[in-house]
Chain A
Amino acid sequence: MYSPAVQPPVLMRSFYGPKPKERAVNILDMVSVAVGDLFPDIADRIYVDGDDLSVLEKATGEVLSAVDMEMIKPGDTVKLLSSEHGYSIMGGEPYVRMLKALKANIQSRTGCKDVRLMVGAYNGFRESDEFIAHYDLKRRFDGQVYRYGPYDKDVTIETEIGTVYGIKKIFDGDWFVHSYYDDPREIYYNRQIQRAYKPFGMSYVRFETRSIYHMNFANRSSNFLPMAVFNSPFIQERYAFSCVLRHSPAGILAIDADRDLAAIDKRITISHLRKYGKMMLLFNAIDECIAVVDGGRWGFYIHAGGVIFGVFMHAHDDLFDLSIPKVLGGFKKNEKGEVVPMLINPAIKVIVLNQAWPGINYLGLEQTPIVIAGEDHGAMWKADHCNPYITEVAQITKDLNGAMDKAYDLYKTDKIIIFDGNFGYINCSPSMAQLLMDKAPEVSRKVDEELLPMWLKQRGIDPSEAI
């Protein structure tokens, strides 16, 4: 009845994660549900993994034709600021294609030769070099490729709310282009508030600034910080324009480009609330499941139907509803009076890690049974001080089949969902596919008629503009 499981994007070997191994869909008997079958009204896209990538270069060229580049002179230095996660979406190559077309377009339009690709990292000192090698960026960007990360030399940025510290080397050219992607990613934190500005509080700034963004502002108000950085005179004097790889659960939706970042952001917000709103509410409708994480990056950020596992971990709350002050990042007292992390989605009965990087904190995950497939993989998690409490409770098995048997022993359900990096499709068990198909019509109605108007109004957008 359902289509066979769709092959997920290929994995990149890395110092930070386990050696890539056989994907879960090739071991388990899974099927696939297309996003377009669940929600025909959000199926539009220009690309999904496996399609012809040249469409992205063409789309980039077309959208840039309307962007003013007069400020860039032939003798100038222009820096294309790229961020880490873009290199992991659908295998990363779509982002690289956009960046490549962006560079070519700037050079041909302005006569500027010195257009440098800046490759950002989350934390590790080898992350950027791995991307540069994996995507052959030195060759493809004429040798004009440089890495940057949160520990690089700082530059002071005065904002309307105080002094913060950016990364000097990415802002020391004549101009920079905010070369981004809009995968909603940390909705539990960003709450779909000014998503397009986020790197100005994360990628583009030092680790101290990242720390205050996450720790010293609250779950919603923190998103003011990136905008304050963007609006600072220091940034505005160097800002040329933005170019964004736009996503939906179905795949890549478009390339967007504009000097007006607020305009891009509004387009993203309207699109995400409608399209991701449906997928997130559908995930909220899952009553019980075993979740399998099977990807080549931090498990938190691996997609199923374009939604990351981290969002599924918090899908029990309406993450778009701004009347809820906090959905993640907090601890609370339990019935024994102990301070514990806030609960994750109670529908997730067991988590199976087939392949996922440690190295970031998965707050609250230790409250759910976890099975790690593979001894080497398990050893990597045990060595990780980001998650000491997970490894205390996790069980390690020889392989994925053993992990699934163990998971079923822990909780008897045949509803399985696999986070393996796919957009456009959800790989899952037949019973999960049936549940998703059964729930989708009511989810769609509820979002269109009840939630979307509320979410839009909360963000100052007139629903009549968007619907």
Chain B
Amino acid sequence: MIQLGFLAQVDEEKCTGCKLCESVCPAGAIEMAANLAMIDSDRCIDCQRCIDRCNRENAISRKPRPSQIIRYVDHSDIDELKLKTLCAKAGLLPDMPICGCTRTTGKEAVAAILKGAKTPEDLCAITGLRAGCGIYCITRIFQVLEACEVDVDNPPDRRWIKLTLSLSDLPEQKVMQIDATYPQYCVGEDWKRLKQRYTHADGKEEKHV
């Protein structure tokens, strides 16, 4: 959940239409029209990355929203077991935040997808994910989309690259090999702990850790 009191605004006199801001927006809130950046206030999550990126022209700034809004997806109307099962498929605990900044939970992210989010940008616009540091939650976004069987292709400009590699992806033999060579990493012990958390979509609820 995130409360938003501000949004980005473009100074049309200064904007050169360079498109640098467009590719760094995590929420897909910027589109180019008539060689000018246009902000979609319904999608802007006030991450201020566009302001930071526009470091030559300084054409983007923050302005107060007419009233404060909250980006949060209510999941009370979705079957709890379905949420838990999809979270487990994504390797997540349902109530555990998938982002340290916004504290968006696994089940909120799943609910956002069940309610229509089809891309990483949709997920950010709806939940506020990536409004903070914008870095560490990105793999969680891909994991949740994948668990909900939403296919995403890497965009041509490589603004993001789908990456979900996890310790639990490693085969047991590889884990044992690393453990034997480099015991200080405690890879085997951590791998077992992470594996405990995982179950398949058809797994029983009580198996979730």
Contacts and interface: CB of A to CB of B under 8 A. Distances in A.
B138 to A, nearest CB: 5
B96 interface: yes
Contacts of B170: 161
B52 interface: yes
A208 B140 CA distance: 10
B165 A460 contact: no
24 contacts: A125-B24, A126-B52, A126-B55, A154-B158, A161-B165, A207-B134, A207-B138, A211-B135, A211-B139, A217-B167, A220-B186, A221-B191, A227-B182, A322-B184, A339-B95, A339-B96, A361-B100, A383-B48, A383-B62, A385-B2, A386-B133, A388-B2, A458-B184, A460-B182
Contacts of B100: 341, 361, 363
B163 A165 contact: yes
B190 A388 contact: no
Interface residues of A, number: 56
- Chain A interface secondary structure, helix, strand, loop or mixed? loop
A461 B167 CA distance: 25
By CB atoms of chain B within 10 A, which of A150, A165, A219, A360 has the most?
A360
Given A339-B96, A458-B184, A154 B135 contact: no
A359 interface: yes
B184 A217 contact: no
B161 A208 contact: yes
Interface of B: 2-3, 6, 24, 45-48, 52-53, 55, 62, 95-97, 100-103, 105, 128, 131-140, 158-167, 169-170, 174, 178, 182-187, 189-191, 193-194
Interface of A: 15, 123-126, 129, 150-151, 153-154, 160-165, 193-194, 206-212, 214-224, 227, 322, 325, 331, 339, 341, 359-361, 363, 383-389, 458-460
Contacts of B3: 388
A211 B137 CA distance: 6
B101 A388 contact: yes
B166 A217 contact: yes
Contacts of A212: 139, 163-166
A154 B157 CA distance: 10
Contacts of B105: 339
B184 to A, nearest CB: 5
By CB atoms of chain A within 10 A, which of B48, B161, B183 has the most?
B161
Contacts of B187: 221, 224
Nearest to B55: A126
Contacts of B182: 224, 227, 460
A457 B46 CA distance: 48
Contacts of A224: 178, 182, 185, 187
A150 B159 CA distance: 11
A339 B163 contact: no
A459 B182 CA distance: 9
Contacts of B166: 212, 216-217
Contacts of B167: 216-218, 221-222
Contact of B46 (A361, A385, A387): A385
Nearest to A216: B166
B184 A162 contact: no
Contacts of A161: 165, 170, 174
- Chain B interface secondary structure, helix, strand, loop or mixed? loop
B136 A215 contact: yes
A125 B97 CA distance: 27
A386 B101 contact: yes
A15 B183 CA distance: 43
Contact of B190 (A218, A331, A341): A218
Nearest to A208: B163
A386 B105 CA distance: 15
B190 A123 contact: no
Nearest to B93: A339
Nearest to B6: A383
Nearest to B130: A385
A217 B96 CA distance: 16
Contacts of B164: 212, 216
* Closest 6 A/B residue pairs (Cβ): A218-B190, A386-B132, A216-B166, A221-B190, A208-B163, A385-B131
Nearest to B91: A216
B184 A206 contact: no
Contacts of B133: 123, 359-361, 386
A363 B133 CA distance: 12
A359 B161 CA distance: 23
B158 A125 contact: no
A209 B166 CA distance: 11
Contacts of B24: 125, 151
A341 B95 CA distance: 12
By CB atoms of chain A within 10 A, which of B48, B185, B193 has the most?
B185
Contacts of A154: 158, 161
A55 to B, nearest CB: 34
Contacts of B102: 385, 388
A209 B6 CA distance: 30
Contacts of B101: 361, 385-388
Nearest to B45: A385
B137 A223 contact: no
Contacts of A160: 174
Contacts of B53: 125
A129 B52 CA distance: 12
A214 B98 CA distance: 12
A217 B165 CA distance: 9
Nearest to A358: B132
A163 B165 contact: yes
B162 to A, nearest CB: 8
A257 to B, nearest CB: 24
A336 to B, nearest CB: 12
A321 to B, nearest CB: 11
Contacts of A124: 52
